[in-house]
Amino acid sequence: MSATASAALAPRRWQRFSLGKRLARLAFTLFAVAAFAASLRTIEVIPEFLYDAPDQLADLFGRMWPMDVGYVGPTLRALVETLHIATLGTLIAIGIAVPIGLLAARNVTPSLPLNLLAKFVFVTSRSVNSLVWALLFVAVFGPGPLAGTLAIALRSVGFTGKLFAEALEEANRGSIEALQAAGAGRLSTLLLGYWPQVKPAFWSIALFRWDINIRESAVLGLVGAGGIGVALDTALNLLYWDQVAVVLAAIFATVIAAEIVVTTVRARML
């Protein structure tokens, strides 16, 4: 950056970042600190609630124990529904995301308007929280797991589609050109050229999203969209904390189990 003549005279001073970059970093840090300070000053927090919080939490957990064993049955039924919602939601999401992902990948679809349209679909899908999707679908289809499944599906389209399109874009041209040179049609090129290359990424994306969706589908019941959230909501509204504890334990066990399944499958397959 600096002139070489002056560098020869003065002892060289090593700097990791250029001046502009350092200023930008400083500005950003200052901005973050200012935002934090401003938020702390203006947010409405009632101090008494804060002092009280540990006692209240301890009291809450005290009321949760011992758990209500009689509630295990309904919880398990709701849990199975949650698993169905998460899995079917992921499958539908993939079904929608794969064609749009093909449109979003620049090497598969060499058309900028189509690419941008597909990316717009992905961004919209990701920006709306699954609870909001669930609210919208409950208004359309009525309460129940149907609304929840569609909410999970539409929420996941953006995530899976974006990653799938990125995997497609990283595919090696060589084998695809070889297929095209041999006179393969579009479908054959996709199935035999792209698919083998993106297959590991595809399964890894699907598994990852399934894992996320199990967590997400557990809360959909709070807005009436089915699954174990309904059991949680009922128990909460009736203030049966010993039942709440059963539901929370079930969710915890399921999430841990799903994580173990995903890790093993990933290690086996990929």
The number of angstroms, rounded, from the C-alpha of 267 to the middle of its chain's C-alpha atoms is 21
Q: Based on the number of CB atoms within 10 Å of its own CB, is 16 exposed (0-12), middle (13-18) or buried (19 or more)?
A: exposed
| Pick from 58, 120, 62, 125: nearest CA to 89 | 125
Nearer to other proteins, 73 or 95 (CB): 95
Binding mask 134-153 for other proteins (x = CB under 8 A): -xx--xxxx-xxx-xx----
84: contact with other proteins by CB under 8 A: yes
Length of the chain: 270
**Segment 36 to 75, residues that bind other proteins, using CB under 8 A:** 36, 38-40, 42-46, 49-50, 52-53, 56-57, 59-60
Of 169, 176, 205, the residue nearest 190 (C-alpha): 176
HEC secondary structure over 184-242: CCHHHHHHHHHHHHHHHHHHHHHHHHHHHHHHHHCCHHHHCCCCHHHHHHHHHHCCCHH
Q: Does 173 participate in binding other proteins (rule CB under 8 A)? A: no
Counting Cα atoms < 13 Å in the Cβ hemisphere of 137 gives: 25
Is residue 114 a contact residue for other proteins (CB under 8 A)? no
| Range in contact with other proteins (rule: CB under 8 A) among 1-9, 102-110, 158-166, 244-252 | 244-252
**Could you say whether residue 181 binds other proteins (CB under 8 A)?**
no
Kindly state whether residue 177 participates in binding other proteins, applying the rule CB under 8 A. no
Minimum distance between the CB of residue 262 and other proteins, rounded to whole angstroms? 13
In the chain, the largest separation of any two C-alpha atoms, in whole Å, equals 84
Of 202-221, binders to other proteins (CB under 8 A) are 215-216, 218-219
Contact residues for other proteins, defined by CB under 8 A: 21, 24-25, 28, 32, 35-36, 38-40, 42-46, 49-50, 52-53, 56-57, 59-60, 81, 84-85, 87-88, 91, 123-124, 127-129, 131-132, 135-136, 139-142, 144-146, 148-149, 188, 192, 215-216, 218-219, 222-223, 226, 232, 236, 248, 251-252, 255-256
